[in-house]
Amino acid sequence: MGEGTWRRSPGGLVTAIAPVLQRREGAWIGWPGSPDERLNPFDHDGMHLIPVPLSASEVELYYEGFSNATLWPLYHDVVAPPVYSRVLWDAYRTVNERFARAAAEEAAENAVVWIQDYQLQLVPAMLRELRPDLRIGFFLHIPFPPGELFYQLPWRRELLEGLLGADLVGFQRPGGASNFIRLCRRLLGLAHQKNEIHLEDGRVVRAAAFPISVDFGEFDSLVRQPHIVERAKEIRSELGDPECVLLGVDRLDYTKGIGQRLKAFGELLHEGSIKPGEAAFVQIATPSRERVEEYMRLRDSIELQVGRINGEQGELGMQPVQYMHQSYGRDELAALYLAADVMVVTPLRDGMNLVAKEYISCRHDLRGALVLSEFAGAADELRQAFLANPYDIDGLKRAMLAAMRATPHDLSRRMRSMRRRISTYDVDRWAKEFLADLES
């Protein structure tokens, strides 16, 4: 396949890892993104890529199935019911084995291998079995649930044992690490000292939090470019120059609380707290996991909700909600962040949420307000956001109004403090700290 045909897949993981790999001379082992595609290793965008194929049935059973219909909802507080099926589990194990073999073949003697995310939780132990010489790290990008939820999983022991093949298991928040340590004790009877888990064979596995971040510098310089500034102005004028532009940017996922924020906005309009024409809500929803049933239902329900709000609260030529089911490039995204007075990030549960941090990175003008769910990992660091519980619609409405009505002085104070945090803890620092800890 020609170079020109490659596209980055949307989502937080790729956004976070690509700059790290580009700066180190590493190889990325991954699925190329379409079924039954067999490709040779190749270089692209400053990275050495090693494709691992998945058959059409594996995409269905392993990727859409066990990864995204079992683990994803279970690890996100069961906000949708997880599917437990032995057929899906078998596919998960088979594909994890394939990745472990690919890494075992590729890695040099004593190399460092860093395994990413919930789709590959069995790989650490499988890889250690094949290549005991390697240093193995694992990072989970999504939340790690407490025992009360994790216990539901019929293969709970196997997953813990899989992760324990790593030397270092990283989580977004300290709570994830302590859930993991507690489960290793309760389910496997393993002793621990602080964050070190002691295995029966004498090996020690560390579990700790490494909150992921964004490339602050890239966004910060991008939004200072004249064409982005120009585009941001243009976006506001295309929206009819309202006093306030509110923005949501998410993968279309039921964990992101898109329905809750639209409900809050719709009620604010309906009760007259926001005057007609005063505010425009732009919701960008990237298509995601479109063949998983729960995602099809979500799309229908969000689109129905947008239609209702616009039908009831709009006027000819003026729709309060602009909804786009599309993926955008970096430039357009940056211009949108710059154009938005209020960024609304309201997940019901989220490992971190990079969108919140991207928004902060773009606001060197110290304007703009962030409404942020308490259930996003980012809330640990971004205490100066307008924090809200997305299940509490009245509370969410209050937070959105407070963000809209805040004084410039208050906004710049909050923004300055959040920018200090993200500029110090950027994605490079995240990777360096994880890898330094792994190699120590």
Q: How far is the CB of 213 from ligand ADQ (least distance, A)?
A: 9
Which amino acid, 109? E
Q: Name the segment binding ligand ADQ (CB under 6 A); options: 6-14, 31-39, 49-57, 220-228.
A: 6-14
Q: Is 351 in the site for ligand ADQ (CB under 6 A)?
A: yes
Which is closer to ligand ADQ, CB of 328 or CB of 391? 328
Of 280 and 427, the one with the shorter C-beta distance to ligand ADQ is 427
- Check binding of 15 to ligand ADQ (CB under 6 A): yes
CA distances from 284 to 253, 327, 332, 337 (A): 12, 8, 11, 11
Query: Mask 310-329, x = binds ligand ADQ (CB under 6 A)?
Result: -----------------xx-
Q: What is the CA radius of gyration of the chain?
A: 22
Q: Which stretch binds ligand ADQ (CB under 6 A): 9-17, 176-184, 390-398, 422-430?
A: 9-17
Asked whether 19 and 215 are in contact (CB, 8 A), the reply is: yes
Which positions from 55 through 114 interact with ligand ADQ, judged by CB under 6 A?
none
How far apart (Å, rounded) are the C-alpha atoms in residues 101 and 71?
23
Q: Is 355 in the site for ligand ADQ (CB under 6 A)?
A: yes
How far is 195 from 174, CA to CA, in rounded Å? 10
Please state the closest distance from residue 359 (CB atom) to ligand ADQ, in A. 9
Give catalytic status of residue 350 as yes or no: yes
* Exposure letters 143-179 (e unless 16+ CB within 10 A, then b): bbbeeebbeebebeebbbbbbbbbbbbbbbbebbbbb
Place of tokens 């340590």: 181
- What are the distances in angstroms from CA 2 to CA 8, 35, 53, 257, 264? 15, 18, 18, 38, 46
User: Which segment (28-36, 185-193, 344-352, 403-411) binds ligand ADQ by CB under 6 A?
Assistant: 344-352
b/e 226-249 (16+ beta carbons within 10 angstroms → b): eebbebbeebbeebeebebbbbbb
Binding of ligand ADQ at residue 260 (CB under 6 A)? no
Q: And the tokens for 296? A: 């099809």
C-beta separation of 118 from 48 below 8 A: no
Binding residues for ligand ADQ, total number by CB under 6 A:
24
Catalytic residue selected from 215, 220, 350, 426: 350
Q: Is 353 in the site for ligand ADQ (CB under 6 A)?
A: yes
Neighbour tally for 196: CB within 10 Å:
13
Whole-number Cα distances in Å, 373 to 68, 252, 350: 22, 17, 9
* Separation CA 130–CA 107 (nearest Å): 11
């392993």: which residue's tokens? 62
Q: Running DSSP on this structure, what letter comes out for residue 342? A: E
Shortest distance, position 363 Cβ to ligand ADQ, whole Å: 15
Site for ligand ADQ contains 373 (CB under 6 A): no
Judged by CB under 6 A, does residue 381 bind ligand ADQ?
Answer: no
Q: Which positions ≥6 away from 226 have C-beta within 8 Å?
A: none
Known active-site residue 409 = no
CB of 139 to ligand ADQ, least distance (A): 8
Of the candidate residues 79, 142, 247, 348, the single one contacting ligand ADQ (CB under 6 A): 142
The nearer residue to ligand ADQ, 352 or 382, going by C-beta atoms, is 352
Q: Which is nearer to ligand ADQ, 167 or 358 (CB)?
A: 358
Binding flag, residue 333, ligand ADQ (CB under 6 A):
yes
Residue written as token pair 């039954």: 36
DSSP letters along 221-257, please?
HHTTSHHHHHHHHHHHHHTT--SEEEEEEEES-TTS-
Q: Is 358 in the site for ligand ADQ (CB under 6 A)?
A: yes
Binding residue for ligand ADQ, selected from 136, 208, 246, 284, defined by CB under 6 A: 284
360 makes contact with ligand ADQ (CB under 6 A):
no
Closest to ligand ADQ by CB, 121 vs 353, is 353
If one asks whether residue 286 binds ligand ADQ (CB under 6 A), the answer comes out as yes
Does 249 bind ligand ADQ (CB under 6 A)? Our answer is yes
Interaction of residue 350 with ligand ADQ, rule CB under 6 A:
yes
Which residue in the list 141, 167, 220, 341 is annotated as catalytic? 141
Q: Which residues in this chain contact ligand ADQ in the complex, by CB under 6 A? A: 10-13, 15-16, 141-142, 212, 249-251, 284, 286, 327-328, 333, 350-355, 358
* Active centre residues (catalytic): 141, 350
